Amino acid sequence: MASATCSFVMMAVAGRAVSVELDTFELMLFRSLIGIGIVTGIGGATGQLRGINTQRFHIHLIRNIGHFTGQNLWFFAVAVIPLAQLVALEFTTPLWVALAAPFILGERMTLLRGCAVLLGFIGVLIVARPDAVVLEPGVMAAAACAIGFAISFLATKSLSRTQSATCILFWLTVMQAFFALICAGYDGDITLPSVDILPAVIAVSVTGLLAHFCITRALQIAPASVVAPLDFARLPLIAVVGYVLYAEPFALAILGGGALILGGNAINIIENRRGR
């Protein structure tokens, strides 16, 4: 999850660079096409392609509809609102996951685990300061993407019990390329990335795939209600990146909120170890 966190931060920076030329559907299309090449190439070299199958295809479909919706909203928001605000609003995802996991995945919700999620969410509220948020399209997109990501997260945990990471990533790239081709090409006009932003497009694809691989492996090891809140650590990191690269406001509230987020994660990890 630490690797996934760093990958998501790098993807945000690359995604902002790409947004000057490509819309979100075009970005998702080229990201997915590059991803297909990476997954099949590495899968073929390591002998993992034989693990690709159509078992539980309907769960793959649900996962990728949720992720495609959430990711497009995320890429829209990354270009128009501060990075820390985007991530803070996105971080309602672990709440949805933690609350739904006992019902959908049969995971046990303990008191300490619930307190850990609540502590992390309080940290997010301190950073996001919802009283100061204006309900502009970027803010609403950032808040709505959390629901799509929660659906994807829960479906990934379900798939990880029986499907390999290669199989999950293969259907991720193939399905999302199909969705993006329809959405980007419905008007017959798809913009090709220029030479200037091509490295950023490749970076979006590589970091996105790496993040999904790391999350899939994490979900094979630990419960979804434990894994999801670990992503809270991305908030203070993205706030620093936004300040350094884009001169976005960096308030002391970010440090305080970040401390609560990390505290909640520590409680969650300790509780998970106790439950083993």
Q: How many domains does the chain have?
A: 1
Q: At what angle do helices 234-246 and 252-275 cross, to 10 degrees?
A: 150
Rounded Cα distance between 267 and 12, Å, is 28
Rounded Cα distance between 92 and 212, Å, is 19
Rounded Cα distance between 126 and 258, Å, is 9
Residues of the chain above pLDDT 90, percent: 37
Rounded Cα distance between 43 and 45, Å, is 6
pLDDT digits (tens, 9 = 90+) for 6-65: 998 999 999 999 988 999 999 999 999 999 999 999 999 999 998 899 999 999 999 999
Give the model's pLDDT for residue 254. 67
Give the model's pLDDT for residue 134. 60
Supply the pTM of this predicted model.
0.79
Tell me if 28 sits within 8 A of 143, measured CB to CB.
no
What is the residue type of 266?
A
Rounded Cα distance between 166 and 164, Å, is 5
Rounded Cα distance between 116 and 149, Å, is 20
Domain containing residue 136: 2-275
Low-confidence ranges of the chain (pLDDT < 50): none
pLDDT digits (tens, 9 = 90+) for 181-193: 999 988 888 999 9
Per DSSP, helices labelled H in the chain are: 2-18, 24-46, 57-78, 83-90, 93-104, 111-128, 137-160, 165-185, 198-221, 224-230, 234-246, 252-275
Give the model's pLDDT for residue 251. 66
Mean pLDDT of the residues in the chain:
85
Give the model's pLDDT for residue 32. 94
Q: Considering only the C-alpha atoms of the chain, give the largest distance between any 2 of them, rounded to a whole number of Å.
A: 56
